[in-house]
Amino acid sequence: MPGTITFAAEVTNVSGHCVWMLIDDEELALPYSEFPWFKAATIQQILNVLRPTSDHLYWPDLDVDLSVESIRHPERFPLKAESTFQPCHTPGSLPTI
Residue 30 sits in a domain whose CATH number is 3.30.2020.40
Establish if 22 belongs to a structural domain: yes
Tell me, yes or no, whether 90 lies in a domain: no
Triad 47, 44, 46: Cα angle to 5°: 40
Distance CA 86, CA 40 (A): 9
CA-CA distance, 28 to 84, in Å (whole number)? 24
CA–CA separation, 72 and 65 (whole Å): 15
Q: Which domain holds residue 44?
A: 9-76
In this predicted structure, what is the pLDDT of residue 21? 96
Instruction: Examine residue 45 and state whether it is found in any structural domain, yes or no.
Output: yes
Q: What is the number of domains present in the chain?
A: 1
Residue 3's pLDDT is 59
pTM: 0.73
Is residue 83 in a domain? no
Per-residue pLDDT of the chain (97 residues; tens, 9 = 90+): 565 656 789 999 999 999 999 999 999 999 999 999 999 999 999 999 999 999 999 999 999 999 999 999 988 877 655 555 555 555 565 555 5
pLDDT score, position 13: 96
